[in-house]
């Protein structure tokens, strides 16, 4: 059962988090042309995914079980650039459980060894238009 839950969160990371995150972040980095409608939809779609994620973390330290699993690694990985570049405190205000979980995960030595220190976004970087 735990394996199936992990698989579901890995899929969620890919479809529900990474897709809108990419559409929001890539224009900021200049990797993709800016499109106002797609940009606005990406912010809204990521917020919908974060609502689901925040609810899951409301009474849990990690997504599945009592330790970090591939589920946490996949979702955190999909959120690294949004959290560093565009998801400022105002955007993240409704998602306190995610902020707690994300900062806990990226603070782990194993995460730091791969991604270094993650500095949370202070102010959303606007897209290159």
Summarised one tens digit per residue, pLDDT across range 31-86 is 999 999 999 999 999 999 999 999 999 999 999 999 999 999 999 999 999 999 99
Q: With bands split at pLDDT 50, 70 and 90, how would you rate the model's confidence at 129? A: confident
Residue 79 to residue 53: CA distance in whole angstroms? 12
Closest CA to 108 of 73, 75, 65: 73
Long-range contacts of 57-61 (CB under 8 A, 24+ apart): 57/97, 57/98, 57/100, 57/101, 58/97, 61/101, 61/104
Would the pTM of this model clear 0.75, i.e. be above it? Answer: yes
């Amino acid at each position: 059962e735990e394996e199936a839950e992990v698989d579901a969160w890995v899929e969620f990371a890919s479809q529900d988090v990474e897709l809108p995150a990419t559409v929001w972040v890539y224009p900021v980095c200049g990797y993709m042309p800016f499109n106002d409608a797609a940009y606005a939809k990406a912010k809204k779609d990521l917020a919908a995914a974060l609502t689901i994620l925040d609810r899951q973390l409301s009474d849990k330290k990690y997504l599945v079980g009592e330790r970090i699993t591939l589920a946490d690694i996949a979702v955190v990985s999909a959120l690294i650039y949004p959290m560093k570049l565009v998801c400022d405190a105002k955007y993240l205000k409704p998602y306190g459980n995610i902020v707690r979980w994300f900062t806990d995960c990226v603070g782990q030595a194993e995460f730091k060894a791969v991604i270094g220190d993650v500095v949370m976004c202070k102010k959303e970087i606007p897209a290159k238009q």
